[in-house]
Structure 1
Amino acid sequence: MMLPSSASSSSSSPAGGNSFFTGFTRLCKGLAVILVGGYVLLQVFPSAVTYVALIPARTIPFAWNLITAGYVEQSLPGVVISTIGLLLFGKLLEPLWGSKEFLKFIIVVNFLTSICIFVTAIILYYITRQESYLYTPLSGFHGVLSGFLVGIKQIIPDQELSLFFLLKIKAKWVPTIVALVSVAISFFTTESVSYLPTILFGIYMSWIYLRYFQKKPETGLKGDPSDEFSFSSFFPEFLRPILDPFASVFDWALCGKSETYSEMRGHTLGGTPLPGSGPIEASRRRERGARALEERLAAEKVAVTGSTDVISHGNAAENV
């Protein structure tokens, strides 16, 4: 579990732990109910997995599984991690993006991730001729969870996060670390096909959406063309000169003819400044993210202090 490093002191007490797991949004609670409900459905009706999970060989007649697969967990650890991750990440991202944009992000990333997994499974089948790529039920919310990490990288890249209460790393490196760890684990397990493509495509699809297509209501512009959120920013500095030429091809292919994106890129390259565009908007977004995080931590600290005062006053009254 990842926590902001400044929250570690408050989360160490019982009151702090309780306050950390409160204040979830109504949308996140509703989505959590869907995740839990999907898991319960599969436990009561196991045959339902053939209709709601992504089975590439059955996707053509059952095309809706491209949508439903992302909201169905097949294991208890999966539904627990997905539910907790949704509630905690949503607590930070939804107030900044807005409920409508937050839900749109989940729907788009889930759908695009499912399409990529479907295409990859078909390609792997034709290469290897292994039917397991066609008939293995694939599902899970971990693609969107990986996408949330990209959103946090965009908003608070330099915020230190506590990983499992032990390691402190900057938020901008979390998606990369998750991807590397997932790839490393895949060499030691035969079930990597059930999670690795979802995590990798979830990270990549969420970056594409946030980089090129997410609309900013305050400016009317789309995407985030700042250098701090470029594709090469996911990799160490020494690799960026190699990756930048390839990334420029994606820039041209996805938004090379987009007037809005071209204007925003023009600003970053020294063109005429646009209100709310380019690095200025990216800086404002990071400031809003950091401010929202500080306000949430301050509120939790106040809650912890208030609870401590109540307990201390109660003890004093008993002593009297």
Structure 2
Amino acid sequence: MPIETLPVADHPDTPNRMYMEDPEIEWRTVKPNYSVVNAKYLAERTKFHKADSLEKLVENLVKTWEMESTHKIKVKDWGTVDPERYIFRTNGGAPKDLENNIQNGNYNMMMDNSPLFDVSKETNASSHALFKECFPDGFAWELLDLLSGPPKVSFTWRHWAHWTGPYRNNPPTGELMELVGTSVVEVDENLKIIDLQVFFDPHPMLGRLMKRKDVEVDPAGDGPTSMAALKTLHRNVPYLKQQLYALLGNTSSSVKIVCLMVFIGYFVSYYDPAVLFLTVTPGYVFPPGFRIWTIFTHCFVEFHFWEVCVDVVTIGLCGKLIEPLWGKMEMLTFFTLINTSVAFFGVFFYLAIYMATFNTDVLFEVHIHGLSGYIAAVSVAVKQMMPDHVVIRTPLGKMTNRNVPLCVSLLSIILYLVGLLEGAYPTMYTTGVVIGWLYLRFYQRHSNGTRGDMADNFTFASFFPTVMQPPIEICSKFVYNLLVGIKVCRKPVRKYDVGAPTAITISLPGTDTHDAERRRQIALKALSERLSQQADSGSSWPSLDDDSRPKTEVQAGDQSSPASNPVEPLTVAVEIDPSTSKPSIA
């Protein structure tokens, strides 16, 4: 007899709900019969797991848990959980123990925070009766994809039914109703459930059952949004387009592509399997998961729209301020290096935490994503180019660009400690500051062939308040000398041009660059503005223009015979030993 024609009870893929045969079990009403929903499952499922597969084992475990959660009223009769340690959570909400589970039931627990389902007016019995009347043909459930195995099992699932019965006062339409979500189940060595977490959005289905046309999926997960909000957004689209064009209009194609990828990553983040596939989860980077590509894709995925706005503004400003100085290739190199390095070192940071605490959450619950590390590195680059530019003035003093990296790092740590920020953000931001400074200080290649920026105002100690700089300077010099000794860093090479006709000019790696030229132009602009103000007030200051500058006889003589005294330039390379204060001529 073909498998398709077998009775449901004899079908090899019929779900196996365990712990139902003990005659001493106290049922909520009567022993349940699952023949109707089993038939729906076999006829309409989308996945066909092998009978001896881990997927089938997990699927049967979840179906058994659902049976016990719905129909068993005594803790002693439960076989799927560890009664002493079991907790249940929905969408990261408050944990509920087994007694709470028995009292409230599945529907009330899973829709506890939904504005479309008032659990205060429902009991365990009333909520099950409501959906049983709405879906008389059964509310089937199937496991879609298994993402990780024991002890922390994560998987995606599908819950579906056809609306063939009334929902409150709304008549049925016969349409298909589906819920898709993700669950993370921690089990012990006996496959007893310890921690069960469910992540899903019930609002689209509830809105259709209530026949509310104003209900859409809320991207923030905080509840339904109204059509009025969508109309307000629609009215402001021209203004937003204008501002976006002003930000990105004159930038290169690479900047526009990166911004587009960030927008795409934000919308993709609503699909839970895509989040696991694109973001860096420390436990999945190493074999057997070996999701090494996430080191390159994580930076484009953001979970909140305000993060997307910050990313786009930062990238746009980089395209207008930094890319003209560095060039397109250097800008892309900086972007790629910072983001991949932040992900790489973040993985090892959380691996070290796991080795110290043996907490598996840091391997499988942490998702490194977004551009917070790159934003931190950009703040370091801005500090390098315009360290004294005032960002904000406060009654306690002014904050300049040199204060931004440290202040934001400390702020992110404080917000994490008080629970207002995810743990990955301070890790990524602090790592981005350090890596960005190391690259700009020692390794960035400049057009004159030099590397890095050895300026005194760009030392590691310069990130800290003045009173803290001396001890930090001592520690940083010790680390620097150590890195020089193992050939990770190089000693700075200073070039003295002793062939100059009037004075000795000194060129330092990292100072005679586009960044230094930008600083000189800013200083000249400020000086010109001051001179203009003096001129307006009646003072007789000379102009900065060469044509209007009074010439001395010596200058006139020099200009009349520019080649009368040719000078041969002579450059002496001096190698500076960090351990000494005086240079020695090589």
- Given that 1:225 and 1:261 are in contact with CA atoms closer than 8 Å, whether structure 2 keeps it comes out as no
Q: Counterpart of 1:33 in structure 2: which amino acid? A: L
- Pick closer, same or farther for the CA change 1:80–1:282 going to 2, 3 Å: closer
- Given that 1:221 and 1:260 are in contact with CA atoms closer than 8 Å, whether structure 2 keeps it comes out as no
Out of 403, 427, 451, the residue aligned to residue 173 of structure 1 is 403
Out of 410, 418, 428, the residue aligned to residue 188 of structure 1 is 418
In the alignment, the residues of structure 1 paired with residue 391 and residue 489 of structure 2 have an alpha-carbon distance, to the nearest angstrom, of 34
Q: Which residue of 2 aligns with 1:122?
A: 351
Q: Counterpart of 2:452 in structure 1: which amino acid? A: G
2:269 aligned with 1:39:
no
Alpha-carbon distance, 1:155 to partner: 0.5
Give the stretch that moved more between structures: 250-259 or 237-246: 250-259
Out of 285, 293, 313, the residue aligned to residue 64 of structure 1 is 293
Q: Counterpart of 2:276 in structure 1: which amino acid? A: T
Alignment of 1:39-188 (within 5 A): 39-43=266-270, 45-60=271-286, 61-135=290-364, 136-162=366-392, 169-188=399-418
Q: Which residue of 1 aligns with 2:444?
A: 214
Superimposed CA distance per residue, residues 178-224 of structure 1 (whole angstroms, 9 cap, x where no aligned partner)? 1121122122116431211011101111001101110001x111111
Equivalent position SS for 2:263: helix
- Pick closer, same or farther for the CA change 1:117–1:282 going to 2, 3 Å: same
- Pick closer, same or farther for the CA change 1:273–1:54 going to 2, 3 Å: farther
Give the stretch that moved more between structures: 62-71 or 150-159: 62-71
Tell me the TM-score normalised to structure 2 length. Answer: 0.42
In the alignment, the residues of structure 2 paired with residue 179 and residue 278 of structure 1 have an alpha-carbon distance, to the nearest angstrom, of 26
- Given that 1:215 and 1:221 are in contact with CA atoms closer than 8 Å, whether structure 2 keeps it comes out as yes
In the alignment, the residues of structure 2 paired with residue 112 and residue 20 of structure 1 have an alpha-carbon distance, to the nearest angstrom, of 28
Equivalent position SS for 1:195: helix
In the alignment, the residues of structure 2 paired with residue 73 and residue 133 of structure 1 have an alpha-carbon distance, to the nearest angstrom, of 19
Q: Which residue of 2 aligns with 1:237?
A: 466
Structure number having the greater helix percentage: 1
Question: For this pair of structures, how many residues does the alignment match?
Answer: 272
Structure number having the greater strand percentage: 2
In the alignment, the residues of structure 2 paired with residue 110 and residue 184 of structure 1 have an alpha-carbon distance, to the nearest angstrom, of 23
Superimposed CA distance per residue, residues 275-297 of structure 1 (whole angstroms, 9 cap, x where no aligned partner)? 45354548724426748x99xxx
- Pick closer, same or farther for the CA change 1:191–1:287 going to 2, 3 Å: closer
Structure 2 residue runs of 5 or longer lacking an equivalent are 1-241, 497-503, 527-586
In the alignment, the residues of structure 2 paired with residue 41 and residue 215 of structure 1 have an alpha-carbon distance, to the nearest angstrom, of 36
- Pick closer, same or farther for the CA change 1:222–1:278 going to 2, 3 Å: closer
Alpha-carbon distance, 1:87 to partner: 1.0
Rg larger in structure:
2
Equivalent position SS for 1:63: coil
With a CA cutoff of 8 Å and minimum separation of 6, indicate the structure with the bigger relative contact order.
1
- Given that 2:415 and 2:421 are in contact with CA atoms closer than 8 Å, whether structure 1 keeps it comes out as no
Equivalent position SS for 2:283: helix
Q: Counterpart of 1:193 in structure 2: which amino acid? A: G
In the alignment, the residues of structure 1 paired with residue 511 and residue 486 of structure 2 have an alpha-carbon distance, to the nearest angstrom, of 20
- Given that 1:264 and 1:278 are in contact with CA atoms closer than 8 Å, whether structure 2 keeps it comes out as no
Equivalent position SS for 2:493: helix
Equivalent position SS for 2:399: strand
- Pick closer, same or farther for the CA change 1:54–1:17 going to 2, 3 Å: closer
What is the identity percentage for the equivalent residue pairs of Structure 1 and Structure 2?
Answer: 24
In the alignment, the residues of structure 2 paired with residue 283 and residue 29 of structure 1 have an alpha-carbon distance, to the nearest angstrom, of 24
- Pick closer, same or farther for the CA change 1:20–1:152 going to 2, 3 Å: same
Q: Which residue of 1 aligns with 2:475?
A: 246
- Given that 2:452 and 2:510 are in contact with CA atoms closer than 8 Å, whether structure 1 keeps it comes out as no
Equivalent position SS for 1:192: coil
- Pick closer, same or farther for the CA change 1:82–1:202 going to 2, 3 Å: same
Aligned-residue Cα RMSD (Å) equals 3.2
- Pick closer, same or farther for the CA change 1:256–1:159 going to 2, 3 Å: farther
- Given that 1:224 and 1:282 are in contact with CA atoms closer than 8 Å, whether structure 2 keeps it comes out as no
Equivalent position SS for 2:346: helix
Give the stretch that moved more between structures: 98-107 or 71-80: 71-80
Equivalent position SS for 2:269: helix
- Given that 2:384 and 2:458 are in contact with CA atoms closer than 8 Å, whether structure 1 keeps it comes out as yes
- Given that 1:124 and 1:133 are in contact with CA atoms closer than 8 Å, whether structure 2 keeps it comes out as yes
In the alignment, the residues of structure 2 paired with residue 99 and residue 283 of structure 1 have an alpha-carbon distance, to the nearest angstrom, of 15
2:427 aligned with 1:197:
yes
Give the stretch that moved more between structures: 256-265 or 50-59: 256-265
In the alignment, the residues of structure 1 paired with residue 390 and residue 418 of structure 2 have an alpha-carbon distance, to the nearest angstrom, of 30
Q: Which residue of 1 aligns with 2:454?
A: 225
Alpha-carbon distance, 1:274 to partner: 5.6
In the alignment, the residues of structure 2 paired with residue 127 and residue 48 of structure 1 have an alpha-carbon distance, to the nearest angstrom, of 30
Alpha-carbon distance, 1:142 to partner: 1.1
- Pick closer, same or farther for the CA change 1:75–1:224 going to 2, 3 Å: same
Q: Counterpart of 2:437 in structure 1: which amino acid? A: W
Structure 1 residue runs of 5 or longer lacking an equivalent are 1-14, 295-320
In the alignment, the residues of structure 1 paired with residue 484 and residue 380 of structure 2 have an alpha-carbon distance, to the nearest angstrom, of 20
Q: Which residue of 2 aligns with 1:29?
A: 256
Alpha-carbon distance, 1:125 to partner: 1.2
Q: Counterpart of 1:84 in structure 2: which amino acid? A: V
Q: Counterpart of 1:232 in structure 2: which amino acid? A: A
In the alignment, the residues of structure 2 paired with residue 168 and residue 20 of structure 1 have an alpha-carbon distance, to the nearest angstrom, of 27
Equivalent position SS for 2:338: helix
- Pick closer, same or farther for the CA change 1:247–1:18 going to 2, 3 Å: same
Alpha-carbon distance, 1:169 to partner: 2.4
- Given that 2:380 and 2:405 are in contact with CA atoms closer than 8 Å, whether structure 1 keeps it comes out as yes
In the alignment, the residues of structure 2 paired with residue 163 and residue 28 of structure 1 have an alpha-carbon distance, to the nearest angstrom, of 31
